[in-house]
Amino acid sequence: MSHIIPIALILFAIYSWYRTRQKAAPNGTGGSIRNRDLPKAAAELGFLPGEQLDTDRAYPPDPRITAVREAVRAGNWQAAAEFLAEAGRDWQERDRRSSVLATEAVKDDSWLLAWRKERPEDADVALVLAESLIYLAWEVRGSSTARHTTQEQFAGFHRILDQAREAVAAAQALAGDDPCPFIVEIPLAKGLGYPHERFEEIWAEIVKRDPHHLAAHTSALQYWCKKWRGSYELAESFARSAAEKGTPGQLLSVLPLEAYFEYEIAHDDLEQDEFYKRPEIVAAVDAALVDVAAAAAANPDDWRIPPVRHLLASLLYWQDRYEAAVEQFRLVDGYIDTVPWAYRGSREGKIKAYVEQRDFSAAQVVKARRGI
């Protein structure tokens, strides 16, 4: 989803937890699988033990990002300027890099202020400043649902968002054909409650600049969800329309999967084993498998791919497609800070949710291969 998707910066202030249920081991040939056999099966297939999983990243660390973080923490704004400029007109990479810098500025913005002082009309610094204010606002608000957020948090949240709105407008005035200053307005639209007509205006500015920007679509899907400014029907309609306009390799087919996931976690009485086996969801998973394979063939190091694989692995698990699930788990094992595991909040919660599904899938594959 996240870009440093991460994903905590794209899925702003949604749920801090995610329900996972231990799937009952099926009876039939070979009988049920005992819980103590699950880690053995995972180890047999080469998976890492839970304690070795990285819960802070969705994919292996990028040396360039590590280097620029160290540089700005030392006050080197020139390194930040060079890092962002290197993205050129690759808008998805520019979006990712501005997010990295904005996240650092929330912690300490002295280098950003120095950059702005030296280059007050620089579109790059304007973008990072606007994005950092939005991130700061969401940090003040916290990640809890509205009923668990204090009035003081809300007051600080809206005060900073008002400042961010001015910074976003300034960045957009310098944008030219760069979609990024408009993309960063999406969380502003959620937080300030933009009406649909206003949001459509922002969206039009984005798609005319980059019609297939994955992070923009993922963020926009959140706006259309019921928990923000839309409904389940609007979210699914947006997701399906976007996926239909994409071609294999652009990864837009993940959007319906995200919409189904959002629907599922919002309904406590919904049975995942039944819901995710619906024909339309099976078909959506199949389309996403084709999409991610094309993206990987074009660029196996594409940082957008791992979050898609994680969601695919989970849905394949719920669909009892264990061989396919294990293949996705194999390709991402080690770094798990992304949907659906990130919804569990704590390190322990992420690991537990991930390992339950991965290890159960592994055990089923081991059983099948042994013919038992």
Question: Tens digit of pLDDT for each residue in 221-263?
Answer: 999 999 999 999 999 999 999 999 999 999 999 999 999 999 9
Count of CA atoms in the C-beta half-sphere (13 A) of 110: 7
| DSSP code for 221 | H
Query: Residue 230 has which token pair?
Result: 């839309």
- What does the pLDDT read at residue 153? 82
Count of CA atoms in the C-beta half-sphere (13 A) of 253: 24
Lookup result for tokens 């629907």: 263
Contact 296, 302 (CB under 8 A): yes
- What does the pLDDT read at residue 78? 98
CB atoms within 10 A of CB 240: 16
29 pLDDT higher than 70: no
pLDDT digits (tens, 9 = 90+) for 294-316: 999 999 999 999 999 999 999 99
> In a 10 Å sphere around its CB, with 0-12 CB exposed, 13-18 middle and 19+ buried, how is residue 205 labelled?
middle
318 pLDDT higher than 60: yes
- Cα gap 63→231, rounded to integer Å: 40
* Mean pLDDT, rounded, of the chain: 90
143 pLDDT higher than 70: no
- What does the pLDDT read at residue 327? 98
43 pLDDT higher than 60: yes
- What does the pLDDT read at residue 346? 86
- What does the pLDDT read at residue 147? 76
With the C-alpha atoms ordered 193, 195, 200, 202, is the resulting torsion angle positive or negative? Answer: negative
Determine the average pLDDT of the residues in 54-75.
Answer: 96
| DSSP code for 71 | H
Residue 200, φ and ψ in degrees, nearest 5:
-60, -35
The region of weakest confidence among 84-88, 134-138, 273-277 is: 134-138
User: pTM of the predicted model, to two decimals?
Assistant: 0.89
Q: Which amino acid, 353? A: A
Closest CA to 125 of 116, 136, 134: 116
The region of weakest confidence among 26-35, 139-148, 264-273, 351-360 is: 26-35
Contact 55, 68 (CB under 8 A): no
Q: Which residue has the higher pLDDT, 23 or 182?
A: 182
- Tell me the three state secondary structure of residue 14: coil
Closest CA to 253 of 311, 301, 167: 311
